[in-house]
Structure formats: structure tokens, C-alpha cells
Structure 1
Amino acid sequence: MGVDVPGLAAVVVFYVFILVIGIWGSRKSKKVEKTCADSKSEVTIVGGRNINALVGVFTMTATWVGGGYIMGTAEAVYSPTQGLIWAIGPPAYVINLFLGGLFFAKPMRSKRYVTMLDPFQNRYGNVFTATLLLPALVSDILWVACILAALGGTMSVILGLSSAISIVISAAVSIIYTFLGGLYSVAYTDIIQLVFIFVSLWLCIPFLLLSPAVTDISPTTHLNQSSGHSWLGELELADAGKWADDVLLLALGGLAYQALYQRILSAASSAQAQVTCFAAAGTIFIMGIPSVVIGVVAASADWNQTEYGLPPPFERGDAGKILPLALQYLTPTWVSVLGVGSVAAAVMSSMDSVLLSSASMFTQNIYKTTLRKQASERELQWVIRLSVLLVGLAGTGLAFGDDSVFALWILSGDLVYCLIFPQLVCVLHCRCANTYGAISGYVVGLLLRLMSGEPVLGIPPLLLYPGWREENGVVTQHFPYRTLAMLSSVLSVAAVSWLMELVFSKQLIPQSWDILRVFEEKIETEGEEIPVHCEDDDSARNTKF
């Protein structure tokens, strides 16, 4: 297949337009830096905390609606081994944002934090905070790889362009405007990208439904056609644990992403931050509907009537590219080019957010507080930019050659769900949580997750839970092992924190054994004990580690 020159030209024009908007956003950022009371680095990270509600909803939605969301949902619906019941992205993200608005937006925004790691730094100190950055960084890099792999597959199918070239160009555009303008560039480009995704994907739907190769999309009439399966899918009792684990991973694990809190913390108030979450929950669900329809159409199509022919995509190992394949072979050329643009927009709208979130955490919580406490604002700005570049390059390097976008999408949330989410729940909502409990919870969550294995990475399990299966020498767990690791981590944090406070407050063990200096002498003030290092009303009673 040759390169589709007109289609490629259209995509290039779109990329140039996005880059121009990003550069314009960087100029807006520089203007805000001159008038805002916050430091320049904080303007880059949280936009001066004056992002209006409408822009907030757009950028929040665009962050979650990435290549993994669009292509992963279509892949799940189409796949004979999954189906609609396994298209968990839209409902899981709705739950995610509702919970974020109810339980996390207000505690975070009311304290005027700059990043998700600030509450950990305030309570536990720099060393433990640095250990939390690692899983967050790995997860962000995997997320970048996921969305870039989605774009590479799309452009190679529809435009005939090399997947590697597509990945490199898209990554370069996102890195450049995020490098230049921080959150303002990200937010303003998100608006354009989200509008384009919405219009182009919904425009594709009528053409897909009217394709001659698609005669009936009811879930039972196409069972004997080339796809050979029902797009509804089945959820057997033996798979219920795995299904629940995946849903909870996306719904709860998504609450442990800096990209979420970057938008929450950029809102003008706590109330606006909550409204942004609730409104984005609705728009994210709407944005997932076209992907579901595309998966349904692809599962119902008679591929023998198209130029693609038989065997169908799943039998050729092309299920991960089902969205671009459906657009390429079931719609007119100009419509499929619009589809490419929608995936490109989705990729860049998520990638820029991920790049900025990782750079923000490293700069604010590691470089500024530990490595270079006297760093100037100009220096911090350059650290953010270099971090954006390095994370982008790392994610780009991992994007080549992965066939399943859905697998990378799930894996990207794995570590934050098992390690960071339990810690975030405890640091915000468990007043007794202290450094001893946090360390124990981290170790328990990490060990349980590692011992459960990971088929995508080829890591064999040391723990075999009920319902495990072995196929072609690969063991898969069908027990909700990630959720078990997460809950065990939460319980460990709470239990060990309470136990350590009990034994030291009752002097059951000598004060000298407090090697982390968590429980120091307290000052008596007007009959009330006040911790020496308590900075605000929800700070823990312990010294920072």
C-alpha cells in the first residue's frame, strides 16, 4: 500500500495548526507569569489557578480520552474473546471522575497543593515521596507508549505511513508545545483536539452503518459470518474476578494520576474543581460511544466483501488495529482520514498531559525540595522542560512494536492502583497514617503485585490465586489480584500506623526505638497537645522522613 498523499497533507496541516495553538498558549502563559502571585514554575504546572470551568472540563475530558481509550474500547468490543461487556473504559472513567469530585477534589484544592505528591511530602517527607514518584513515572511512560502505539497503528493502516515515522512526528509535536507553554499550551490545544475528536468520530458513524459490508448489527445475526462471534460478549462466573479487577483498576487507579490533579489544582476554587470532575464524567462517556459503535460494526461486518478479505482481522492478529481497519475498509477515503485526525488529536491531548504531569512531580517534589533547594525560577522552568523531553523520549521508545493497545492501557494503571492509590486514600482520609504505616503499605502492595506475575511483561507468578489458568505456557490470574494488593496496602497503612502510635504513646517500647523520628515530644499549649511539625489541620502527628 502506497502513502495516501492527500490524507497525509491533511494530517500535516492539522499538526501545524495544533502546534500554532500550543505556541499561542505559551505566550498566554508568559503573560500570566507577570501578573500572577504564584511562582513561574507553578504557573507552568497549575496555570496560575485561574483556568475557567469550561476550559477545565475540556482539558479534563481530553486527558482521559486518549488513543488507549478510543482504540482500546473498539478493540474490546470487536474481540471475540471479549465483547461489549469487556469495554470497561467508559463506565470506569465515569466512576473515576465522580469519585474524584466527591472525595479527592476538595481536600487537594483547598490546601492549594501544586502536585499530587505534596500531601505525602508534607506528612512523610522527601525520601518516601521519592519512592512514590517511581511508579507514577513508570505508569506515565507506559501511558505515553500506549497512546503513541495507537496512533502508529492507525496511520500505518489508513495513510500507508510507517508506524515509526507516525509515532516520532506525533511525539515531537506534543513535546514541543508542552515544552514551550506548560499547562496553558496543554489546555488550549486540548480544546481544539477534543472538538475535532467529537466531530470526526461521530461523523464516521453513519458511513460505517451504511457500508454494504454491514447488513445487520444485531448481536445474534452475524454469528455465522466471517467474524464468527457476538459483539455483546460473555462474562462467565470464572472471569468475574478478572472483569471486576480491570474495572476497579481503571475507576480507582485513575484517581492516582497527577494528570487528574493538575486539572483539579488549576481550578479557581474547590467547588469549581468538583464541578469540573462531574461535568467531565458525562462528556467522557459520550466520547466513548463512537468507539463502541465502531467495534460493533467491525464485529458485524462481512470482511470478505471488503478489500481486506478473509481471514478477518482477529485471525490475522489485527484486533488492536480494528478502529483504523474499520475506517479504512468500511468508509470513504476522506472519512477515514478524518478518523486518523481524531486518533492523532486524542493521542496528543493525552500525551501532553502525561508529559507535564511527570515533569511537574519531579521538579516540584524532587528537584526543588531535595536536589536543589535554592534553585531559581528560571532553573526550575528548564528542569520542567528537560523532564518533558526525557519522559517523552522514554515513552516514544516503548511505543514501537506492541500489538495490543488495550493491554498497555490496562498495564499503565497497574502500578498506581496497587501502590499510589492506597497511599493517597490514607494520606487524605486517614488521620492516623504515619511513615511507618506508609512504608509497610508500600512494601505489602509491591510484593503482592510482583508475586502475582504479569503476562504482558513475561513475569511468571509466584502466587497462584483461585481460578488461575495456563494457556500456551502462560499463566493468567482470574482472581482480582490487583484489588487484593490494593486493599492489603490500605489495611497495612492503617493497621501499622495505629499500632505504632499505640506502642509509642503508651510507652510500651522506648522512645529511642523511633528510628524515623515520627513520634517526637509534643508541646502542651492551653491544655491541648499540638504536634511540633503539624502545618495544617489534617497533617499527621509525625516528623517528615
Structure 2
Amino acid sequence: MAILVSGLVAVIIFYLIILAVGLWAAWKKRKSGGEDKRNERPMVGARDIGLIVGSFTLTATWVGGGYINGIAEYVYTPGYGLVWTTSPFSACLTLLIIGKFFVKRMKNQGFTTMLDPMQYKYGRWMGVLLFLPALLGDLCWSASILAALAGTLSVIIDLSYSISVIFSACIAVSYTLVGGLYSVAYTDIVQLSFVFVGLWLAIPFAFTHPAVTSITTTAFEAPTWLGTWDWQAVGYWVDGFLLVAVGGLPWQSVYQRILATASATKAEVVSYIAGFATLAMAVPSILFGAIAASTDWNATDYDSAGKTPLDKNEQVLILPIILRYLTPTAVAVIGLGALAAAVMSSIDSAILSSSSQFTRNVYNFGFRHNATRRELQWVMRLATVSFTVAAAALALTVHSVYILWFLCVDLVYVALVPQFVCALFLDPNTYGSLPAYVIGIILRVGGGEPAFNMDPFIHYPGGLNFPFKTFAMVVSFITLVVFSYAAKYLFEKGIIPEKYDIFQCKLARGGRTLTLEEIIGNDVVYENVKLEIIQQKVQL
């Protein structure tokens, strides 16, 4: 029971440190900035975050519990291995693409959320509709990593699953409520440091355990942790790689950090640093997966009946299992703090992401144009609490939320990527946005989902080896472009009378431009945005 007591004390101390840092960050910014009169401050702060803090918080956004645990799980699981573990490389590529092509457009136009450019192009109600897949992704992401943390605590210190989920959610929502982005950003520095130190500290002890064979030997012995390439499944690999690399482009958690940086140049550099840092942070997890595949579990205290984690279907918990059975107690406790840090760094990001978009793009822009500053502050607080409760409830009731999160990433990939890219780089409208949204989802769901025993009603050639998720995304993109420009041509030429412009895109007038105030109908919304952004005109 020694590990139970020491581990529990370590977790409590760690959470108190995180809470203290979050409250300190909120107090520090309030003291230096005076009364907060800006609606956007909880979302993107004062847009003054520097390179160091920005790099830490953006890296911590990606390096969460699912990232750390999932990589180790895939490397360890036969049939996958390192070759099929694409997330470290695709996540790095995502941030590099964002830094190169998206940062300056988002920063220079003064956007506050990822939904802003889409809502300006497609209208406020389409923006509300596009919020749904983003919300589902954040909720299921949060629930999955809460569940991962609960499983970790149950392995190492025998703490109740329910207590783990509830306690972790309460700590995260506490400092997020008080300090908004600043609390999340500064706690990310502490959390990422814990992850780095805790995981690297445990690796030498796990490597030198008597039950562990050299990973250089097992790399080429079946079943190899490197994995075996299968050309017949190349479509599946491409689909999975692009799912993260491209599907990660429209994530509010990323843009919240980018838009909070002091300048577009700094934001671009932060994206590059975070991209390579995310790849580097995957190395410990890869090594843990290789260690697990090289371990004779019968020579450990893992199971008296001689079963392996694979036999007991516990590969999802392989990282905490390694800490528990292949490292000393003190090292396991520190490693536990690292895993808890990874979870907390993702939970607060997802909570802030969803509440920011709901408050600004759904409540304010969609329903309550004349909402006061105080009203919006309370809405964001209530949204923060509500989304945290929803994520915790999902983690407590659905233990397969990790798979559910992947399905929601699919929806983001298919439903949001075309909309987001077109809104920033082309001149689309609602007549292309709505059919593209519906068609993309139908094509994705039509391919079925084995995790939920959903049989396909669209039979793609090659079955699951056909990259139907990417196909659905591309078709959605083409639909958006074709329908948008077709509608514009038909209205401009008078083929369709202006009175049938049901979405009020004003296409019959040559695409009349409106100011941001006219689009939303309320100057109060933009009192905190620079004058040149207020005067900007957006093509509807």
C-alpha cells in the first residue's frame, strides 16, 4: 500500500501546484492590466503572449494524455508498431502547415476564434451549425483523456475511477474559470515540464529492468515493435495520416494560442517550434512502446497467472503499467505526475476552446447581438462549467471515448476542413457551404464505422483500405467551391432573381461588401478590436 499513499500524496501536491500557478497567472494579469473591459480577453488574452510561453502552451495543447498514452499503445500493439503510428509525424506537419499558410491570415485579420472567418463568409447561422462538430470533437477529446487519466491512477495508486475523473475535472475548470487563457498558458509550462522530466526519468529504469530484452533485438523479431509495412493497406495508412495532418488545421485550441501571441511573426515562429517540439515529445512514448514489446511479463509481478497486457486487453494502459511494474516506486509516482500533467494540459485547452466559440460565435453572433459585456462573461463561465460536466459525464459513462474521439476527428476532417480553408483563401458563400457540409457527412457516415458495428451503406471500392474519409473531405471541398461560384454566377447574371436569395448573400449585387458591424449588427461586439479590423470589409 506504500505506493497508494505516496502516489495519492504526489497527485494532490501536483494538482495544488497547477491550481496555484493558474490562480497566480490570473492575479498577475489582472494586477498589471487593470479592469478587464474586453470581451475577448478570456479567449485570447491581450494578444501579448511571447515566444517562450506561446511555444510551451501550443506544444502542451497537442501533447496530451491521448497523445502520450496512444503512441505507446500503438507501438506496443502487434499489427501496428511504429510504422503505423502516424500521429507524431502528422501532428508535427499540421503545426508546420499552420505556421506557413494560416497564421498570418488569421492574425492580420484580427480573428478571435477559428469559427470567425467561416461565420463572416457563410453567415451567422451556418457558423452555429459548424460549431457542432467542433464541440463534439472537444467534448470527446476531453472525455477520452479524463478516462485515460482515471485508468492510469487506478493502475498505479488504486484510486477510484470516478473520483479521478471528477477531481481532475474540478481542478481544470477552477483555474480556467478564473484566469481564462493566461491561466491555461502558464499552467501549460508547468505541465509540459512535468511530462518531459517525468517520462525521461523513468526510461533508464525501465530499460535496465531484468525482464526487458534489448529493443534493438526485438525490433527485428516477430512481432516487431517497428511494425510491418503492408502495401495492400497503404490507403488505410494515408487516410490515417491525413486525418491528423489535415484534420488538425481547424482546431480552436491551436488558434487560441496563435491569436494570443504578440505578432504574426512570433505566432509563425511559435507554430514551427511547437511542431518540432511535439515530434520530440513523442520519443519517450515510442521508447515505452518498444520496451513493453520487449518485456517478458511472466518475469514481473504484473499477473500471477502469467498473462500479458495483450492477453488482458490492457494495451491502452501500457504506459502506466510499465511505470508500475518496471520502475521503482518513487519513479512511478513521478511518472504518474507526468501523465496527469499531460491530461491537464489538454483538458483546460479543450474546455476553453469550446466555451470561447460558444460564447462568441453561437450565443453572441447567433442569438444575442446586443449582449452586454457582463452577460457574455457569465455565459462563458456557465459554458465552461457545462462543457466540463459534459466531458466528465461522458468519461464516466462511456469507456470507449477514445474511439469516439477519433470518429469526431473524422467529422472535423470532413465537415470543417473544406469550410475553413475556403473561407480563408477563396470567396465561397452559404449556397456552397450548406450542401458541402451535408454531403461530406453523408459520405463519411456512409463508409461505416467498425468500432460501433456500423455497417456501410455506401460500399467504396477496396472496403476499409479505400481512403473514404479523405474522399469525403475532397468531395465536400469540391462541392463547396462549385456550388458557391455557380450560385454567384446565377444571381449576378439575373438567371435567378434576387428575391430568391434566401441566405441574403447579396450575390445579385455583385457581392456587395458589408462591414463587420453590419454582419453582426452590433458595434459592442467589436469594441475590443483594432480600428483597421473594424473597418475591414468582408465579402458575403
TM-score bracket for this pair, using the shorter chain length:
over 0.9
Answer whether contact 2:128 2:366 (CA < 8 A) is retained. no
Tell me which of 455, 460, 470 is aligned to 2:455.
460
Q: Which residue of 2 aligns with 1:341?
A: 337
| Alignment deviations for residues 80-132 of structure 1 (CA, whole Å, 9 cap, x no partner) | 12111122121011100000101111111111111111112222221100001
The one-letter code sitting in structure 2 at the alignment partner of 1:445 is G
Tell me which of 97, 115, 130 is aligned to 2:128.
130
Is 2:247 the partner of 1:253?
Answer: yes
Answer whether contact 1:151 1:167 (CA < 8 A) is retained. yes
Is 2:326 the partner of 1:317?
Answer: no
Q: Which residue of 2 aligns with 1:298?
A: 292
Is 2:443 the partner of 1:448?
Answer: yes
Q: Which residue of 2 aligns with 1:61?
A: 59
The one-letter code sitting in structure 1 at the alignment partner of 2:298 is N
Name the TM-score, length of structure 2 as normaliser. 0.92
| Alignment deviations for residues 479-528 of structure 1 (CA, whole Å, 9 cap, x no partner) | 21111111111111111111111222222333333222223554xxxxxx
Answer whether contact 1:115 1:262 (CA < 8 A) is retained. yes
Q: Offset at 1:31?
A: 3.2
Answer whether contact 1:156 1:162 (CA < 8 A) is retained. yes
Partner-residue secondary structure (3-state), 1:533: strand
Counterparts of residues 21-100 of structure 1 (less than 5 Å): 21-31=21-31, 33-34=33-34, 39-100=37-98
The one-letter code sitting in structure 2 at the alignment partner of 1:427 is A
> C-alpha distance in 1, partners of 2:372/2:158?
47
Answer whether contact 2:22 2:187 (CA < 8 A) is retained. yes
Counterparts of residues 320-399 of structure 1 (less than 5 Å): 320-399=316-395
Q: Offset at 1:243?
A: 1.4
The one-letter code sitting in structure 2 at the alignment partner of 1:175 is V
> C-alpha distance in 1, partners of 2:376/2:276?
36
Q: Offset at 1:29?
A: 3.7
> C-alpha distance in 2, partners of 1:283/1:423?
29
> C-alpha distance in 2, partners of 1:408/1:451?
17
> C-alpha distance in 1, partners of 2:431/2:82?
44
Answer whether contact 2:218 2:294 (CA < 8 A) is retained. no
Is 2:7 the partner of 1:7?
Answer: yes
| Alignment deviations for residues 364-411 of structure 1 (CA, whole Å, 9 cap, x no partner) | 112122332222222211111111111111111121366667635533
Q: Offset at 1:326?
A: 1.1
Is 2:504 the partner of 1:517?
Answer: yes
> C-alpha distance in 2, partners of 1:239/1:520?
46
Is 2:228 the partner of 1:234?
Answer: yes
Partner-residue secondary structure (3-state), 1:437: helix
> C-alpha distance in 1, partners of 2:388/2:421?
29
> C-alpha distance in 1, partners of 2:235/2:536?
36
The one-letter code sitting in structure 1 at the alignment partner of 2:232 is A
| Alignment deviations for residues 339-383 of structure 1 (CA, whole Å, 9 cap, x no partner) | 111110011111101000100001011212233222222221111
Q: Which residue of 2 aligns with 1:488?
A: 475
Aligned length in residues: 521
Q: Offset at 1:41?
A: 2.6
Answer whether contact 2:78 2:223 (CA < 8 A) is retained. yes
Unaligned residue ranges in structure 2 (runs of 5+):
517-532
Aligned-pair Cα RMSD in Å: 2.0
Q: Offset at 1:247?
A: 1.1
Q: Which residue of 1 aligns with 2:198?
A: 200
Tell me which of 141, 144, 156 is aligned to 2:142.
144
Unaligned residue ranges in structure 1 (runs of 5+):
469-476, 523-528
Answer whether contact 2:498 2:508 (CA < 8 A) is retained. no
* Structure 1 pair 462–219 and aligned structure 2 pair: CA distance change class (3 A): farther
Question: What is the aligned-residue identity percentage?
Answer: 45
> C-alpha distance in 2, partners of 1:292/1:327?
14
Q: Offset at 1:454?
A: 2.0
Tell me which of 155, 158, 163 is aligned to 2:156.
158
Partner-residue secondary structure (3-state), 2:460: coil
Is 2:190 the partner of 1:169?
Answer: no
* Structure 1 pair 255–58 and aligned structure 2 pair: CA distance change class (3 A): same
> C-alpha distance in 2, partners of 1:539/1:486?
29
| Alignment deviations for residues 56-78 of structure 1 (CA, whole Å, 9 cap, x no partner) | 00000001100000000000000
Q: Which residue of 2 aligns with 1:436?
A: 431
Answer whether contact 1:142 1:411 (CA < 8 A) is retained. no
* Structure 1 pair 156–222 and aligned structure 2 pair: CA distance change class (3 A): farther
Q: Which residue of 2 aligns with 1:474?
A: none
Q: Which residue of 2 aligns with 1:213?
A: 211
Tell me which of 96, 109, 132 is aligned to 1:111.
109
* Structure 1 pair 313–74 and aligned structure 2 pair: CA distance change class (3 A): same
Partner-residue secondary structure (3-state), 1:116: coil
The one-letter code sitting in structure 2 at the alignment partner of 1:312 is T
Answer whether contact 1:445 1:489 (CA < 8 A) is retained. yes
Answer whether contact 1:320 1:405 (CA < 8 A) is retained. no
> C-alpha distance in 1, partners of 2:41/2:272?
25
The one-letter code sitting in structure 2 at the alignment partner of 1:437 is G
> C-alpha distance in 2, partners of 1:365/1:404?
30
Is 2:531 the partner of 1:533?
Answer: no
Answer whether contact 1:105 1:270 (CA < 8 A) is retained. yes
Counterparts of residues 489-508 of structure 1 (less than 5 Å): 489-508=476-495
Q: Offset at 1:218?
A: 2.3
> C-alpha distance in 2, partners of 1:521/1:296?
62
> C-alpha distance in 2, partners of 1:221/1:507?
67
Counterparts of residues 462-481 of structure 1 (less than 5 Å): 462-468=457-463, 477-481=464-468
Q: Offset at 1:467?
A: 2.7
Answer whether contact 2:219 2:225 (CA < 8 A) is retained. no
The one-letter code sitting in structure 2 at the alignment partner of 1:342 is A
* Structure 1 pair 507–383 and aligned structure 2 pair: CA distance change class (3 A): same
Q: Offset at 1:434?
A: 1.0
Answer whether contact 2:513 2:537 (CA < 8 A) is retained. no
The one-letter code sitting in structure 2 at the alignment partner of 1:205 is I
Answer whether contact 1:85 1:235 (CA < 8 A) is retained. yes
> C-alpha distance in 2, partners of 1:149/1:169?
12
The one-letter code sitting in structure 2 at the alignment partner of 1:395 is A
Q: Offset at 1:540?
A: 5.8
The one-letter code sitting in structure 1 at the alignment partner of 2:64 is G
* Structure 1 pair 452–538 and aligned structure 2 pair: CA distance change class (3 A): farther
> C-alpha distance in 2, partners of 1:298/1:137?
35
Q: Which residue of 1 aligns with 2:416?
A: 420
